């Protein structure tokens, strides 16, 4: 019998050590090093000698590489295509993470049922009957989707070889295990080994693989950090289970932008694409309320109109509170200092609470002017008109700075029926005829004069 070999891995970063120690030398975390059993027998390839390889593993000059057959695969889901950069790239490995119950499995099962390609959905967490019950609610009329309940990678590759699917979906990577590693499923060594086998399969056959990954209580993908380095795309599915809207973001994308955003609405029949998110991010009110302002922002190439809510009240406990939801708290403090210094508003003894509606996080500096307007509105208890919006950055000296792609923001505001938009007068605007009034301002004092 072969001697059992063990080694020590850091559960946080995946670093390997010869013996146990309290602190990881790589990531400096304490008590994250655990012992795992490993075994390195002679490895056989994932494929048999008779299987066909679609890509030749030979070096080619970059100008000789043929891109004619590398068209992206359309997922038939506009939001998913947008976040990926136009569709699934053949041979790519995509990792989708998110909290339990947020809808990761539902999203990929829904996409697999829409695809016109032969799709293999491998589940290590649910039985085939459980998946069938969910599929019945989404779209049962699909003959291209095959369901496999298996956790052993060698058995999965045998079925892949027999079926020859165009796309493979794994739910989830933490449930898989390989015979070449003796540790349990979900361990550092098993995740690395299984992902390596899937990468080799994807690259040699040009078959895209989509993985579902569990996350830790900190919101990071469970397993070693190297997992996110190995895959081509890392997607995060976010949202509150108490609300119906879900947001899909790309944290890493080798084939497109990481600034794009996909928005879904969870319904009984699955996830519905939200093609016009501005409608859901702006609340519908009959009466005008103080402290509300509308900002024109951008997420990737998509313009969004979002609602900024502010509440300014006298501090009761002596020390004023500064709280921001969906907005950088340090930037809020900077804008309050500018208001106090340049506009003469005494906010040092008042509590200020800020909220971006819809549960999204915005880091676009173009919403600075809307934040300032909502704070002024709440402080003076004067409601802003419902048909005005803002798109400008505020500088430390109180100047209104220009923002990029302002014309796209103006056209979005016009499409949604706004009558006036406040922008920096230093923006170069070439729009000739617009139904919306463009109000140009240069200093924060101008905004105070117009609104208060």
φ and ψ at residue 414, rounded to 5 degrees: -65, -40
Cβ neighbours of 391 (radius 10 Å):
31
Q: Which of 48, 17, 49 is nearest to 32 (CA)?
A: 17
Angle at 78 between CA 77 and CA 84, to 5 degrees: 90
Supply the range of the domain harboring residue 323. Answer: 280-451
Residue 37 has which token pair? Answer: 């059993």
For residue 14, being part of any structural domain is answered with yes
pLDDT in tens, 188-207: 888 888 999 999 999 989 99
CATH number of the domain bearing residue 286: 3.30.230.10
- My answer on whether 290 and 263 are in the same domain is no
Number of domains in the chain: 3
Same domain assignment for residues 368 and 427: yes
Same domain, 221 and 88: yes
Whether 377 and 443 map to the same domain: the answer is yes
User: Could you tell me which residues are annotated as the binding site for ATP?
Assistant: 98-105
Distance of alpha carbon 32 from alpha carbon 229, whole angstroms:
20
362 in the same domain as 248: no
- d(CA 276, CA 304) in angstroms, rounded, equals 8
Same domain, 312 and 257: no
Side-chain-facing half-sphere of 267: CA atoms under 13 Å: 11
Give the orientation angle of helix 153-163 with respect to helix 188-205, to 10 degrees: 20
In-domain check, residue 298: yes
- pTM as predicted: 0.74
Whether 257 and 361 map to the same domain: the answer is no
Spacing of C-alpha 409 from chain mean position: 22
290 and 179, same structural domain?
Answer: no
Q: Which residues contact 330 (CB under 8 A, 6 or more apart)?
A: none
User: Do 248 and 286 lie in a common domain?
Assistant: no
pLDDT truncated to tens, each residue of the chain (452 aa)?
A: 455 677 888 888 878 888 899 999 888 889 888 887 765 554 555 554 334 444 445 788 888 877 666 688 999 898 999 999 889 999 999 999 988 888 899 999 999 998 888 999 999 988 999 999 888 888 767 788 999 999 999 999 999 999 999 999 999 898 998 888 877 888 888 888 899 999 999 998 999 999 999 887 777 787 777 888 899 999 999 876 667 788 898 999 998 888 788 888 888 888 888 877 777 777 766 677 899 999 999 887 788 899 999 999 988 777 888 999 989 999 999 999 999 988 888 888 899 999 998 777 888 999 999 999 999 999 999 999 888 999 999 999 999 999 998 998 998 899 888 999 999 999 988 887 788 999 999 999 888 888 76
Instruction: Looking at the structure, tell me whether residues 268 and 292 fall in a common domain.
Output: no
Binding residues: 98-105
Q: Are 142 and 111 in contact (CB under 8 A)?
A: no
Strand order in 167-171's β-sheet? 145-149, 119-123, 167-171, 209-213, 93-98, 233-239, 245-253, 261-267, 270-273
Is the distance from CB of 321 to CB of 351 less than 8 angstroms? yes
Residue 172: cis peptide before it, omega within 30 degrees of 0: yes
Whether residue 123 is found in the same domain as residue 242: yes
Q: How far is CA 368 from the centre of its chain?
A: 23
Domain containing 158 — which CATH number? Answer: 3.40.50.300
Classify 108 as helix, strand or coil.
helix
């Amino acid at each position: 019998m072969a001697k059992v070999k063990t080694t020590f891995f850091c559960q946080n970063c995946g670093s390997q050590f010869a013996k146990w120690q309290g602190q990881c030398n790589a990531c400096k975390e304490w008590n994250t090093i655990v012992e795992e059993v490993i075994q390195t027998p002679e490895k056989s390839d994932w494929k048999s000698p008779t299987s066909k390889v679609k890509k030749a593993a030979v070096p080619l000059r970059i100008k000789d590489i043929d891109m004619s057959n590398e068209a992206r695969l359309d997922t038939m889901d506009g939001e998913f295509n947008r976040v990926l950069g136009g569709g699934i790239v053949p041979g790519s490995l995509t990792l989708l993470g998110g909290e339990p119950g947020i809808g990761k499995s539902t999203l990929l099962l829904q996409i697999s049922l829409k695809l016109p390609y032969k799709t293999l959905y491998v589940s290590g967490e649910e039985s085939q009957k459980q998946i069938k019950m969910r599929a019945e609610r989404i779209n049962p009329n699909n003959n291209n989707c095959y369901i496999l309940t298996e956790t052993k990678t060698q058995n999965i590759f045998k079925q892949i070889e027999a079926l020859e699917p165009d796309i493979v979906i794994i739910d989830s990577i933490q449930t898989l295990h390989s015979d070449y590693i003796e540790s349990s499923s979900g361990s550092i060594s098993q995740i690395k080994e299984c992902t390596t086998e899937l990468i080799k399969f994807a690259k040699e056959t040009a078959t895209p693989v989509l993985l579902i990954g569990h996350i830790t209580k900190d919101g990071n993908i469970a397993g070693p950090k190297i997992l996110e380095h190995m895959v081509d795309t890392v997607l995060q599915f976010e949202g509150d289970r108490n609300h119906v809207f879900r947001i899909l973001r790309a944290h890493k994308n080798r084939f497109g932008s990481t600034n794009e955003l996909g928005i879904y609405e969870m319904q009984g029949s699955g996830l519905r694409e939200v093609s016009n998110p501005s409608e859901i991010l702006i609340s519908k009110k009959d009466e005008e309320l103080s402290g509300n302002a509308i900002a024109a922002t951008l997420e990737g190439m998509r313009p969004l109109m979002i609602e900024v809510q502010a509440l300014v009240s006298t501090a009761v406990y002596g020390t004023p509170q500064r709280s921001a939801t969906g907005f950088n708290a340090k930037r809020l403090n900077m804008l309050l200092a500018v208001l106090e210094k340049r506009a003469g508003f005494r906010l040092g003894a008042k509590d200020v609470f800020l909220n971006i509606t819809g549960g999204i996080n915005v880091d676009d500096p173009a919403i600075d002017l809307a934040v300032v307007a909502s704070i002024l509105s709440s402080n003076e208890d004067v409601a802003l008109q419902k048909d005005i919006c803002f798109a400008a950055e505020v500088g430390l000296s109180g100047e209104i700075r220009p923002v990029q792609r302002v014309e796209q923001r103006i056209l979005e505001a016009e499409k949604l029926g706004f009558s006036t938009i406040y922008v920096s007068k230093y923006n170069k605007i070439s729009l000739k005829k617009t139904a919306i009034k463009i109000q140009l301002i240069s200093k924060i004092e101008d905004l105070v004069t117009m609104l208060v």
